[in-house]
Amino acid sequence: MDARPIGVFDSGVGGLTVLHEILVTLPHEDVIYLGDNARLPYGPRPLDEIRRFAAEIGRYLERQDVKLIVVACNSATAAALPELQLSLSVPVIGVLRPEAHAAVLATRNRRIGLLATQATVASGRYDALVESLDAGAELVAVACPRLVPLIESDDPFGEETAAAVREYAAQLKDAGVDTVILGCTHFPLIRPVLQRVFGRDVTLVFSAEETAREVAETLARKRIENEVEREGSYRFLTTGDPDTFREMGYRFLQLPIGEVEQVDVATLEKAAA
């Protein structure tokens, strides 16, 4: 048994949708969640810059003595996962492969859509993953720069969000996709809006459950899981404002959020030096 915590990070609060499934799947594990709110959004940034941010956070969490790291951010996974897996001493799990695998299994006509950030689409990682799983499947990717700010607004289910979803969905509907990957951890929060626009015949895929399952399997395979009889704890860190994180985070996690600790960006930069 290994009592060290699991480290989870995201550019902000979106990764809390992944954390929720980890906490439900592994209630006996301790978790440290770090949201890089001071530098969000990651999506419009160059891939090299996102890669640097991910390396800083990965090193910082490693120094917090975590036993496994989950990159609960699609942009960071797309930009940096291989580099993190090579450079860190603990297992690192991303959110892209579970989604690609679930989408290939779910599609009936082998036409898969992707809604994601500019960085994730530009990386081409989903294209490569889908092709590796089914070379005959077609992936149509659409960058959605307007959605994250709308989802974090005071009216995430309003008409402006619905209009943006209709705009981004049009290309995928024209392509005849029957499965759509929600390639950003923010997007599941507006799943009802997305499902209404696409209709019941289109399957929406999000990686939280599959990612949590991969974490559980990795811990068991490496024999670093915690004792199942205990109740785990979770701790929150942010590079932004703790009060804002707590208020916004509750909407995404749907579980109590207590104290939120602030970590300076300079501290993360020093960790990778």
Take residue 179 and report the two structure tokens written for it: 């499965």
Which residues are paired to 111 by β-bridges?
A: 138
Q: How many CB atoms lie within 10 A of CB 167?
A: 13
Domain co-membership, 105 together with 71? no
User: 99: closest CA among 218, 184, 24, 186?
Assistant: 184
Domain span holding position 216: 6-94+209-271
Q: How many domains does the chain have?
A: 2
What residues are labeled active site?
Answer: 73, 184
Q: Which residues pair with 115 in a beta bridge?
A: 142, 182
Residues 266 and 134 in one domain: no
pLDDT per residue, tens digit, the chain (273 aa), is 899 999 999 999 999 999 999 999 999 999 999 999 999 899 999 999 999 999 999 999 999 999 999 999 999 999 999 999 999 999 999 999 999 999 999 999 999 999 999 999 999 999 999 999 999 999 999 999 999 999 988 899 999 999 999 999 999 999 999 999 999 999 999 999 999 999 999 999 998 988 999 999 999 999 999 999 999 999 999 999 999 999 999 989 988 898 999 999 999 999 887
Residue 194 lies in a domain: yes
Give yes or no: residues 261 and 192 share one domain: no
The number of CA neighbours under 13 Å toward the Cβ of 74 is 36
Strand, helix or coil for residue 260? strand
Do 67 and 114 fall within a single domain? Answer: no
Answer yes or no: do 63 and 24 share one domain.
Answer: yes
Query: In terms of domains, do 120 and 187 share one?
Result: yes
Give the DSSP H or E segment for 245. Answer: helix 242-253
- 1, part of any domain: no
Residues 220 and 172 in one domain: no
pLDDT digits (tens, 9 = 90+) for 170-224: 999 999 999 999 999 999 999 999 999 999 999 999 989 889 999 999 999 999 9
Cβ atoms of 26 and 260 within 8 Å: the answer is: no
For residue 153, how far is the Cα from the chain centroid? 19
With respect to residue 60, please indicate whether it lies within any of the assigned structural domains. Answer: yes
* Residue at which a domain ends, from 206, 221, 237: 206
Name the pTM for this structure: 0.94
Which CATH number characterizes residue 255's domain?
A: 3.40.50.1860
**Both 105 and 236 in a single domain?**
no
Last residue of a domain, one of 155, 190, 206: 206
Is residue 83 in some structural domain?
A: yes
Domain end, chosen from 168, 189, 206, is at 206
146 and 192 both lie in a single domain: yes
Asked whether residue 247 falls in the same domain as residue 213, the answer is: yes
Distance CA 222, CA 161 (A): 43
